[in-house]
Structure 1
Amino acid sequence: MEVPNNKNAIESNRQAWNDSARHHQESPDWQVLLSEVIQADFCCLDDTLRGLLEQVGVEGKDVVQLGCNNGRESLSLFALGARQVVGVDQSAAFLEQAREINARSPHHGEFIEADIHHLPMSLHNRFDVALITIGVLNWMPDIGEFFRHVASTLKPGGRLVIYETHPFLEMVDPEGEDPFRLETSYFRKQPFVQEQPIVYAGKVEQQSAASYWFVHTLGAIFTAAIEAGLNISHFKEYPHSNREEVYDQYLNREAQMPLCFTLVASKV
């Protein structure tokens, strides 16, 4: 399949996420979320991310989550004392879900539909903390441009917190005949292309808008952050997985791969 230009890839990814939203809403996890989000101390963040955010400090701060999906992580920030939380996503269908759980929550987040490359001016230089979690960076064809827009949301001295899957994992296929064989280059240039709905468990065998998953090395991520005017103050790799359950087979190995990482950078 021919890879479209960046603009068309971003638009196709938006359509693919809108196509997939109903499959997520049909899962048992959605009903559990609806029942849990009514609690004032609701927090779905794992210990790694929660501990890092507590260390960075979000209490009394204005926080933006870029790529907020259905808003569950954004609303979790109130349990850490955030003063104001804004979630941004390009999928209108997932934002409908975010607003539904927001209406059930005792807290009140704000959810905005926008492509990261076309953020409204009202978000510029506004936040103390910007958050990016698993499954955001790889939807971005130009990681340098992405980080410039992320940095634009921060006040001077504001901090970006990233908790992402490790790019090393893009080299293996967890559902392949030999899931430990290196299948593709760490320096792969072409995106992975999928034409089935995006789901977190298994596959849905029906047609969907094509989605494009772009591979970025750690070097590319670091360079993009630095060139966007961000000073990296923290970087740590972990042997635990924050990805789909199929990746759990890579846990607790004698020759352990890095499975995820955290990064904190401050706006100059």
Structure 2
Amino acid sequence: MPCTDDVIAHNREAWNASAPQHRDTPAWQRLCDAVRNERFNCFDATLNTLLSQLDLSGKRVIQLGCNNGREVLSLFALGAREAVGVDQSAAFLEHAQALSALSPHAPTFIEADIHHLPASLTQHFDVALITIGVLNWMPDLGAFLRHVASTLVPGGHLVIYETHPFLEVFEPSAADPWQVARSYFQREPLVEDGAIVYEGQGQAIGLPSYWHLYTLGDLFNGLLAAGLHLRGFAEYAHSNREDLYDLYEQGGERQVPMCYTLVAQKA
């Protein structure tokens, strides 16, 4: 297993190499057309409701792991006066800048590893946002949460909308996708060499990426250690990740938790 810095570097290289497969799609052109609208908002009903309850009006918001920036642009529709996106993938930030150039809004995008954030981001934001597919890329969840907390002003809120850790025990591409494929408590990361995509299977790119597994206990203990106090937590039966996982929405009597929302507040 590579050291933490090497894992972060490998994941960055894999994301950069995957970027062209995200832009060469009809979905990208639809997104380019959509962001021209000042009321553009790509959040689903679950996250829209949560952020509206928190009330972003006039607030400074940062998204850690912003990908192509579409969610950062969506923050303006909810009233944010300042929106900043941070990602370590230069290739995806190029996508974000391209979308921003088409938008009537002016977000800021910063290329940085979460472990080496610019000092200007320290205690500057009212709200920090983390959405699907961020936490599991982090080799040290506790350290990640400490860095996230450092961006918040005292009393600021962290909002997380992520895949449920329990879902990781299943393998949707298996012959029997309902068969438990791995332990909920597995510590070894899942290593892939395919492009990181949101639909179907990515083509092999010959670069390893590391998807880390964690429990809800890891998350809650990490929040506490970072000086963040839980204010709300809800679990849902719908999917907010790749389409391969949609089948688990049809669990019926054996429905599994698929995602969650969490709100924590800095002391």
| TM-score, structure 1 normalization | 0.98
Distance in 2 between residues matched to 1:123 and 1:86, nearest whole Å: 9
Distance in 2 between residues matched to 1:19 and 1:46, nearest whole Å: 28
Distance in 2 between residues matched to 1:196 and 1:233, nearest whole Å: 38
Secondary structure of the equivalent of 1:112? strand
Alignment match, 2:44: 46
Alignment match, 2:211: 213
Secondary structure of the equivalent of 1:181? coil
Secondary structure of the equivalent of 1:254? helix
Alignment match, 1:260: 259
Distance in 2 between residues matched to 1:66 and 1:141, nearest whole Å: 15
- The CA deviation string for residues 92-119 of structure 1, in whole angstroms up to 9 with x for no partner, is 0000000000010001100000000000
Amino acid at match of 2:160: I
Alignment match, 2:138: 140
Amino acid at match of 1:63: V
Amino acid at match of 1:171: V
- Is residue 2:10 matched to residue 1:12? yes
Q: Give me the identity figure in percent.
A: 58
- 1:246 positional shift: 1.4
- 1:187 positional shift: 0.4
Amino acid at match of 2:94: E
- 1:207 positional shift: 2.4
Alignment match, 2:19: 21
- Is residue 2:93 matched to residue 1:95? yes
Partner residue of 1:200 out of 189, 198, 201: 198
Amino acid at match of 1:194: E
Alignment match, 1:56: 54
Distance in 1 between residues matched to 2:51 and 2:113, nearest whole Å: 25
Amino acid at match of 1:48: T
- The CA deviation string for residues 169-224 of structure 1, in whole angstroms up to 9 with x for no partner, is 11000010100000100000100000111111122333232100000100000000
Amino acid at match of 1:258: P
- Give RMSD over aligned pairs: 0.7
Gaps in structure 1 of 5+ consecutive residues: none
Contact 2:65–2:85 (Cα < 8 Å) also in 1:
yes
- Is residue 2:68 matched to residue 1:67? no
Where does structure 1 differ by over 2 angstroms across 4 or more consecutive aligned residues? 203-208
- 1:255 positional shift: 1.2
Distance in 2 between residues matched to 1:24 and 1:126, nearest whole Å: 32
- The CA deviation string for residues 219-257 of structure 1, in whole angstroms up to 9 with x for no partner, is 000000011000100000001110111111111322110
Contact 1:67–1:87 (Cα < 8 Å) also in 2:
yes
Contact 2:85–2:108 (Cα < 8 Å) also in 1:
yes
**Structure 2 counterparts to residues 95-244 of structure 1, below 5 A:** 95-244=93-242
- 1:6 positional shift: 0.8
Distance in 1 between residues matched to 2:80 and 2:202, nearest whole Å: 37
Distance in 1 between residues matched to 2:208 and 2:27, nearest whole Å: 25
Contact 1:19–1:208 (Cα < 8 Å) also in 2:
no
Secondary structure of the equivalent of 1:188? coil
Distance in 2 between residues matched to 1:99 and 1:142, nearest whole Å: 29
- 1:138 positional shift: 0.1
Amino acid at match of 2:52: E
| Aligned length, in residue pairs | 266
Distance in 2 between residues matched to 1:162 and 1:249, nearest whole Å: 23
Secondary structure of the equivalent of 2:86? strand
